Chains A and B, each alone.
Chain A
Amino acid sequence: MANAKAVDFAKIKAEEGAPYAKPVQILDNDGNVVNKDLMANFTDDQLVDLMKKMVWERALHEQTMSFSQQGRLGFYAPTWGEEASEMGTVSAFKKQDFMFPAYRDLPQLIQHGATVAQMYLWSKGHIKGNLFDARALRPQIIIGAQMVEMAGAALGIKKNGEEDTVAFAYTGEGGSSQGDTYEGMNFAGAYQAPAVFIIQNNGWAISYPRDHQTHAQTIAQKGVAAGIPAVQVDGMDVLACYQVAKEAREFAAAGNGPVLIETLTYRFGAHSSAGDDPSRYRTEEEEKPWFDKDPLIRLRKYLTNKGLWSEDEEAKYADECKADFKEQMKEADAVEPEKVTDMLKRTFEVPTPDIKEEIKKYEAKESK
């Protein structure tokens, strides 16, 4: 009996991610230029600026961890190892762009216009931590929600006729499993809205590894189902991250619809400052190759070879940053705790009768 096959499922399965598994890279682990054409896009000043931003972010992480260990902060999600992915991408956006960060994206939110003191207040749990001037929403806790919201903001920007403006959102490879990530991409695609989706694939969703999160060979290919052009980028190469984000932004801002970027990065530290211990679920052998890819090493090597940067300069700059963070922490500490009465007052524009009663009760309680 004949047994002709219509479909080669095994072949399709083996090759499904191939078109997307080509991460863009400009500098390799050792700081060698692997793409001269793209390298030529950067001026020396830009290269030093990106280096300084990464040093700033690492210093921010170190100082923030220290504050956290002293019990001076609330929830904090370490960003150690993700400096290229975070600083590279965010540097490509403009102030008019609407940012939708998640909880590990505080450094980008600061670059977009929030202050370090405001982010410390956010961590401590104070309303003033949300009242930044940046065109952005607060760091999202439900890490798919910002994807649908961002699609709506992108549509709003399009309907407003805002020129040279996009909306952009961050989540992780864990967040990419959320249904909302797909719904957001699908809505932005359906309405051809100026949206840039950035998925920072840092290998771990608390203790759950990337390869268990999805059987898809890349996270980038999740865009294709929504009709969204997608790309993988070496998330430890700040230049590649900047270049790809810049092109994605230009593509979306020009009215061509949304773009998805997957940055391949690594969470060097714990999930959060609240007791997560990576040694429970991953080994040093697995971590080692990623530490070799440290995003600061490769750009430092390249810049040092060119005489544009030095370890002394870096140490001095990191110290300056940390001194600033200490000042900003003082500023955050000086902010009076908020009254519950004030919290109650902003539940509704016009307080409901039961809230009015509670306001009276808490005014008395808090005037004692």
Chain B
Amino acid sequence: MAKKTYIKAITEGIDIALAEDPKTLVFGEDVGKNGGVFRATNGLQDKYGEDRVFSTPLAESGILGMSIGLAVTGWRPVAEIQFSGFMFEALDSIVSQMSRMRFQYEGRRTAPITIRTPYGGGTHTAELHGDDFENFLIGVPGLRVVAPSSAYDAKGLIISAIESNDPVVFLENLRLYRSVKGEVPDDKYTVPLDKAKVVQEGTDVTIVAYGGEVSEAQKAADKLAKDNISAEIIDLRSLYPIDTDTIFESLKKTHRVVIVQEAQKMAGAGAQVASAISEGAIMYLDAPIMRVAAPNSVYPFPQGENVWLPGAADIEEAVREAVNY
């Protein structure tokens, strides 16, 4: 099987969706001729024409508002928000409109819309280009949020997201676009929108992570293995809903948990995992729930980014604390 980059896997997934359903439309700022500023839609306009793959005026609320209008006239929009920091321009369309569509019309009208957007730090980019804004999105009723960490999952999840008859925010980790490569089948396959994945099995501690932190967890686990600490790594993949079954099963075995996220600590996916564990799995634990997350500050200037972002060393430290408790 060919090794492909994370971004190539996304392009392939969108390509398959366009080929399978003539009602699928792909659009956003610069996604047409230019193939997107990161080239995630590279070559798709040539292949499917300007009617189905096109660039839009520079206005995020317009892009996602338009998606709703296209959805109710029979189309299946795959909209790109160029950077997740620009998504707040369109928050009304997401929170007040599309996520309520099925609820408001008893399913007679729906919003089968995929919002693709790059997010996440570590690339020393401009302000509001690298922030982790998923904390804001995972509490929106009617909205699914996924964040793949591997090329394989990226392709399978983008296809599932586009096929979903409910709106899905598909978070593409900026740092992983070209740094991650993996085996990706050429043909169509899907990854479920609501299942976490056990990336590595272990017996002493469970590390729950997603997106860019999964590889940091892996680095930490490799180091800990040298000291005979065996870590199980769970990649959430879906931030809403959270697959608590997979996490609880793991805790029955390891009795310790470290929850990792790149986003600020307040009220995010990690907090939700911790809350779910305290409600439903606290009896399996031999140590307090540990969390590794960024501080509740504004996303730092690029010069401070490497220190500010939680990394393998922070995860390793938290695991040792849990194991030695």
Task: Report B141-160 CB contacts with A as 1/0, cut-off 8 Å.
Answer: 11010000000000000000
Task: Report B60-75 CB contacts with A as 1/0, cut-off 8 Å.
Answer: 0110111111111111
Residue B105 CB within 8 A of the other chain: yes
Residue from B69, B96, B141, B142 with most neighbouring chain A CB atoms (10 Å): B69
Residue from A137, A138, A183, A354 with most neighbouring chain B CB atoms (10 Å): A183
Q: Which residues of B contact A219 (CB under 8 A)?
A: none
Q: Please give me the 9 A-B residue pairs with the lowest Cβ-Cβ distance, nearest first.
A: A152-B69, A148-B65, A156-B73, A152-B66, A153-B69, A352-B241, A183-B62, A149-B69, A156-B70
Q: How many A-B residue pairs have CB under 8 A?
A: 129
Q: Which residues of B contact A352 (CB under 8 A)?
A: 144, 194, 240-241
In the complex, the answer to whether A151 meets B59 with C-beta atoms within 8 Å is no
Known: A145-B97, A160-B74. A152 touches B68 (CB 8 A): yes
B61 touches which of A131, A155, A179, A343 (Cβ 8 Å): A179
Q: Which residues of A contact B166 (CB under 8 A)?
A: 348-349
In the complex, the answer to whether A347 meets B102 with C-beta atoms within 8 Å is yes
Min CB–CB distance B9 → chain A (angstroms): 24
In the complex, the answer to whether A130 meets B69 with C-beta atoms within 8 Å is no
Known: A155-B66, A186-B59. A145 touches B240 (CB 8 A): no
B245 touches which of A131, A154, A353 (Cβ 8 Å): A353
In the complex, the answer to whether B72 meets A187 with C-beta atoms within 8 Å is no
Q: Which of A343-368 contact B (CB under 8 A)?
A: 343, 346-349, 352-355
Of the A-B pairs whose beta carbons lie under 8 Å apart in the complex, a sample of 24, sorted by A's number, is: A98-B72, A98-B73, A127-B106, A145-B65, A147-B65, A148-B66, A148-B93, A149-B66, A149-B72, A150-B69, A151-B62, A151-B66, A152-B65, A152-B68, A152-B69, A153-B70, A154-B69, A155-B69, A156-B72, A159-B73, A159-B75, A184-B65, A186-B62, A187-B62
Q: Which residues of A contact B243 (CB under 8 A)?
A: 353
Give complex CA distance A353, B193 in Å: 12
In the complex, the answer to whether B106 meets A131 with C-beta atoms within 8 Å is yes
Min CB–CB distance B226 → chain A (angstroms): 37
Min CB–CB distance A145 → chain B (angstroms): 6
- Using a CB–CB cutoff of 8 Å, the interface residues on chain A facing chain B are 98, 127, 130-131, 137-138, 141-142, 145, 147-157, 159-160, 167, 179-180, 183-184, 186-187, 190, 343, 346-349, 352-355
In the complex, the answer to whether B72 meets A145 with C-beta atoms within 8 Å is no
A183 touches which of B25, B59, B70 (Cβ 8 Å): B59
Give complex CA distance A190, B54 in Å: 12
Q: Which residues of B contact A347 (CB under 8 A)?
A: 102-103, 141-142
Q: Which residues of A contact B61 (CB under 8 A)?
A: 148, 179-180, 183
Give complex CA distance A89, B240 in Å: 44
Nearest B residue (CB) for A167: B69
Nearest A residue (CB) for B69: A152
Min CB–CB distance B163 → chain A (angstroms): 11
Nearest B residue (CB) for A180: B61
Q: Which residues of B contact A187 (CB under 8 A)?
A: 56-57, 59, 62, 65-66
Q: Which residues of A contact B194 (CB under 8 A)?
A: 352-353
- Using a CB–CB cutoff of 8 Å, the interface residues on chain B facing chain A are 25, 51, 56-57, 59, 61-62, 64-75, 92-93, 96-97, 102-110, 141-142, 144, 164-166, 194, 240-241, 243-245
A152 touches which of B70, B96, B108, B109 (Cβ 8 Å): B70
Q: Which residues of B contact A349 (CB under 8 A)?
A: 102, 107, 110, 164-166
Q: A187-B62, A343-B103 are in contact. List 16 more A-B contacts (CB 8 A).
A: A127-B104, A142-B96, A147-B65, A152-B66, A152-B68, A152-B70, A179-B61, A183-B59, A183-B62, A184-B62, A186-B62, A187-B59, A346-B103, A347-B102, A347-B141, A348-B102
Q: Which residues of B contact A153 (CB under 8 A)?
A: 69-70, 72-73
Give complex CA distance A323, B218 in Å: 73
Nearest A residue (CB) for B241: A352
Give complex CA distance A26, B142 in Å: 49
In the complex, the answer to whether A190 meets B69 with C-beta atoms within 8 Å is no
B67 touches which of A152, A183, A186 (Cβ 8 Å): A152
Give complex CA distance A160, B71 in Å: 12
In the complex, the answer to whether A353 meets B97 with C-beta atoms within 8 Å is no
Q: Which residues of B contact A160 (CB under 8 A)?
A: 73-74
Q: Which residues of A contact B56 (CB under 8 A)?
A: 187, 190
Give complex CA distance A147, B59 in Å: 13
B68 touches which of A130, A149, A154, A348 (Cβ 8 Å): A149
Known: A137-B109, A187-B56, A347-B141. A148 touches B104 (CB 8 A): no
Nearest A residue (CB) for B89: A179
B105 touches which of A131, A155, A343 (Cβ 8 Å): A131
Nearest B residue (CB) for A138: B104
Nearest A residue (CB) for B165: A349
A156 touches which of B64, B65, B75, B104 (Cβ 8 Å): B75
Nearest B residue (CB) for A151: B66
Give complex CA distance A98, B72 in Å: 10
A142 touches which of B97, B103, B107, B141 (Cβ 8 Å): B97
A149 touches which of B51, B57, B65 (Cβ 8 Å): B65
Give complex CA distance A304, B232 in Å: 86
